[in-house]
């Protein structure tokens, strides 16, 4: 598992996706309107092969990527 944390300052439509190194969407983790506040999501990485992955968040026209590595 790995934890994904983010904070919203206002009500916003949030899309959180898990992507491969090549940018392919592997999973959509969140896709809904969320209230302001701090959020933490436990991401199960048990089915992922060794390699680099990205968690991408889109909110209100802003996109951010965080990378992480799975080592087996």
pLDDT of residue 50: 96
- Encode pLDDT of 17-53 as tens digits: 999 999 999 999 999 999 999 999 999 999 999 999 9
Residues 50 and 71: beta-carbon distance below 8 Å: yes
Residues 5 and 44: beta-carbon distance below 8 Å: no
Binned at pLDDT 50, 70 and 90, residue 72 comes out as: confident
Residue 60 has pLDDT above 90, yes or no: no
pLDDT of residue 25: 97
Residues 23 and 63: beta-carbon distance below 8 Å: no
Residue 1 has pLDDT above 90, yes or no: no
Entry pTM: 0.89
């Amino acid at each position: 598992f790995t934890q994904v944390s983010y904070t919203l300052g206002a009500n916003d439509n949030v899309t959180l996706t898990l992507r491969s190194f090549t940018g392919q969407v592997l999973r959509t983790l969140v896709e809904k309107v969320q209230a302001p506040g701090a959020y933490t999501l436990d991401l199960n990485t048990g089915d992922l092969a060794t390699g680099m992955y990205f968690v991408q968040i889109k909110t209100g026209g802003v996109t951010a990527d965080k990378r992480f590595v799975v080592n087996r």
